[in-house]
Amino acid sequence: MSETCSLADKTCAPCRGDVPPLERSEAEQMLTQLDEAWTLNTAGHLQRTYPFDDFMGALSFANALGAIAEEQGHHPDLLVAWGRCGVEIWTHKIDGLVEADFILAAKADRVYRS
């Protein structure tokens, strides 16, 4: 399995709130496994905006990612607008990042590419 698809092939493990969030340096290291468009915002959450040619493309992507998020039990914040869909991911129970956040981000990239 190649490094670029390894995260997308994993399943998000539910966080019960009993784990500490990744340190920023750990999150930055994991960030290297994602598409370069992903960033850590000032709150320490994963963030990316996907470009589209119209509103319906962005909405279709949001619906596809929403279905995956529901299946994985891990729910991002989505902002759908004409020509773009913003995605913000973090684990709400610990207000920080865990591996599952990076897994969901990789799955979002896979959906976008397909």
- Report the CATH number that the domain containing residue 78 is assigned in CATH: 3.30.1360.20
**What range does the domain containing 55 cover?**
22-113
- Does residue 32 fall inside a structural domain? yes
Q: Identify the band that residue 3 occupies on the pLDDT scale cut at 50, 70 and 90.
A: very low
- Does residue 51 fall inside a structural domain? yes
Over the Cα atoms of the chain, what is R_g? 13
- Does residue 49 fall inside a structural domain? yes
pLDDT digits (tens, 9 = 90+) for 8-32: 776 766 666 678 899 999 999 999 9
What's the confidence (pLDDT) of residue 18? 74
Number of domain units in the chain = 1
- Does residue 6 fall inside a structural domain? no
pLDDT digits (tens, 9 = 90+) for 83-103: 999 999 999 888 999 999 999
CB 114 within 8 A of CB 19: no
CB 35 within 8 A of CB 5: no
pLDDT digits (tens, 9 = 90+) for 26-66: 999 999 999 999 999 999 999 999 999 999 999 999 999 99
- Does residue 2 fall inside a structural domain? no
pTM for the whole structure: 0.88
Q: At what angle do helices 55-72 and 99-113 cross, to 10 degrees?
A: 140
